[in-house]
Amino acid sequence: MQLYNTLTRRKEPLAPREPGHISMYVCGMTVYDYCHLGHARVMVAFDVISRYLRERGYNVTYVRNITDIDDKILKRAADNGESIEALTERMIAAMHEDEARLGVLPPDREPRATGHVDAIIAMIRVLIDKGYAYPAANGDVYYRVREFADYGKLNNRDPDDMRSGARVDVDDHKEDPLDFVLWKAAKPDEARWPSPWGDGRPGWHIECSAMSTGCLGNTFDIHGGGPDLTFPHHENEIAQSEAATGQTYVNTWMHAGAVRVDEEKMSKSLGNFFTIRDVLVEHDPEVVRYLLVASHYRSPINYSVDSLSEARRSLTRLYTALENIDPEPEPVSLSLAEPSSGHARRFAEAMDDDFNTPEALAVLFELTRELNRARANDTADVPRLAGELRALGGVLGLLSQSPATFLKGETALDEANIEAQIARRAEAKAARDFATADSIRDELAAQGIILKDSREGTRWVVQSSSG
RNA sequence: GGCUGGAUGGCAGAGUGGUGAUGCAGCGGACUGCAACUCCGUUAACGCCGGUUCGAUUCCGACUCCAGCCUCCA
């Protein structure tokens, strides 16, 4: 397998530290608000990655943290007049709900910053002892960036070129403007933990260093996150972790592409974000997931109503091929490490190449065509092909619902009435009263119900208003 | 200004040194009472200028434009 490594800026063969086992840490959410589509992209991207690695035979330990103490959380809780804990618990529950609806499997571990303050303090202490950090007079503790020779290696940045003051806050308490905070002294009435440097709370970057190495060891295989985390967050994680342990922190850095709206980056700070739950009011979660998987995980994608309806039409083609399979699709065991069929092999080749999901989807469509052909000819391959389509789709977290559910939607339609209309139309057709038959079909069409005649009778699907 | 990445047919989106991505849309045909679904066929692309090569969309260089990061952000 080949994985693109942000650190080296090229694809490299996957070489797990421990044969057959992959340790993966992904930066998760700061839980002060609902998740938006940018979060969805990261969750889905690494969900697909972990699913595929497992399908490929690796034993994966997937850790994704929750940042549950942070300036934005303090502010939001105060604005809402609720406790920090009430806010974060509410948002964590919402996040779990959102990801479940998107078909994202839970990570193996979900450590929270507030649950690892001891480990954070211990790491800061090591950094101070080694001369990489210093307590300041105001009670903060800072990381001494100039002390870490490799600083900037992830982003190809030279500290000497990062003109102090340009966009970095000049802070009297720092020795150097590039230094960043490891421990933040608590102001009166702020949430606090005791520490050797006074009451306070962890800085943002240090929690990931402490939790990732705590869960996975000083060196692990894959570290992932959103596109905007490469600097400074991940650069700082490297500085902290490698200074503290003296070992390589991460072998492969992986970053998802940005989600844009109207050609502008979607972000909380710009306020142009769509929350997952808002989008799911109008759209099937699997359509959203399809949209996210239809582009390579590193490419930027533009979110729009049009792109969603196109995703829906594409997914409809896959589900249509699986509709009313008789006999039932065969359960297929894929064994993607040594694929048996041509489709599985090409699917695996695509995914082996840095998780090329668009190419993998192309294989699903080719399989779909073959399945449709087999159905038209009534060949014995139908259950096997259908089972294979389902199984390969499942690796991407797609095709998980029944075709009828997807195609007919969750609408509160009176199915008995629809069937009665269809029966009435069948009678009219039998009597060659096509005017009546067509008017019945038109009436149903006006309600968004599309009829499809076949040898076995008439089936119907709902044409989504959103495409 | 610095650092990354990108520019592919009407749209979305992979990929490749010489032949078909794929999906949606279009066109022709089959199926159908007519449609829808499906199938068969088909149109159509590689930002710009140089270089390497028998041959470049693919490799190299310049240029133009776009995006992300450099500030909390997934």
Domain boundaries, chain A: 2-256, 260-407, 411-462
What is the fold of A260-407?
Four Helix Bundle (Hemerythrin (Met), subunit A) (1.20.120)
Any strand B atom closer than 7 Å to A27 CB: yes
Any strand B atom closer than 7 Å to A3 CB: no
Distance from CA of residue A240 to its chain's centroid?
A: 26
Any strand B atom closer than 7 Å to A320 CB: yes
Task: Copy the structure tokens of residue A188.
Answer: 């009166």
Average confidence score pLDDT of chain A: 93
What confidence score (pLDDT) does residue A303 get? 92
What confidence score (pLDDT) does residue A112 get? 97
Model pLDDT for residues A197-253, shown as the tens digit of each residue: 999 999 999 999 999 999 999 999 999 999 999 999 999 999 999 999 999 999 999
Burial pattern A265-298, b for ≥16 Cβ within 10 A else e, equals bbbeeeeebbbbeebbeebbbbbbbbbbbbbbbb
Q: Which residue is nearest to nucleotide B39 (CA to C1')?
A: A373
Any strand B atom closer than 7 Å to A41 CB: yes
Q: Chain B positions under 7 Å from a protein CB? A: 1-5, 11-15, 20-25, 32-40, 66-74
What confidence score (pLDDT) does residue A161 get? 78
CB count in 10 Å sphere of residue A342: 12
Please say if the pLDDT value at position A410 is more than 80: no
Pick out the nucleotide with least CA–C1' distance to A321: B38
Pick out the nucleotide with least CA–C1' distance to A375: B38
Pick out the nucleotide with least CA–C1' distance to A294: B13
Please say if the pLDDT value at position A465 is more than 60: no
Any strand B atom closer than 7 Å to A263 CB: yes
Any strand B atom closer than 7 Å to A437 CB: yes
Question: Identical fold at A2-256 and A260-407?
Answer: no
Any strand B atom closer than 7 Å to A426 CB: no
pLDDT band of A466, cuts 50, 70, 90: very low
Gap between the Cα atoms of A179 and A360, Å rounded:
44
Any strand B atom closer than 7 Å to A274 CB: no
Name which residue leads in pLDDT, A115 or A447.
A115
Q: Give the C-alpha distances (Å, rounded to integers) separating A216 from A18, A78, A184, A187, A212.
A: 12, 35, 26, 33, 6
Give the residue among A144, A106, A149 at the shortest CA–CA distance from A127. A144
| Percent of chain A predicted with pLDDT > 90 | 84
Whether A462 and A409 have beta carbons less than 8 Å apart is answered as yes
Phi, psi of A239 (to 5 degrees): -60, -45
Please say if the pLDDT value at position A351 is more than 70: yes
Any strand B atom closer than 7 Å to A353 CB: yes
ipTM of the complex: 0.96
Any strand B atom closer than 7 Å to A204 CB: yes
- A 120-149, residues with C-beta < 7 Å of strand B: none
The residues, ordered by sequence, that sit 6+ positions from A442 with a Cβ below 8 Å of its Cβ are none
Task: Give the mean model confidence (pLDDT) for residues A22-40.
Answer: 97
Is the CATH number 3.40.50.620 carried by domain A2-256? yes
Whether A262 and A19 have beta carbons less than 8 Å apart is answered as no
pLDDT band of A163, cuts 50, 70, 90: low
Any strand B atom closer than 7 Å to A321 CB: yes
Please say if the pLDDT value at position A461 is more than 70: yes
Please say if the pLDDT value at position A436 is more than 80: yes
Model pLDDT for residues A254-266, shown as the tens digit of each residue: 999 999 987 788 8
The C1' atom of B47 and the CA atom of A462 lie apart, in whole Å, by 42
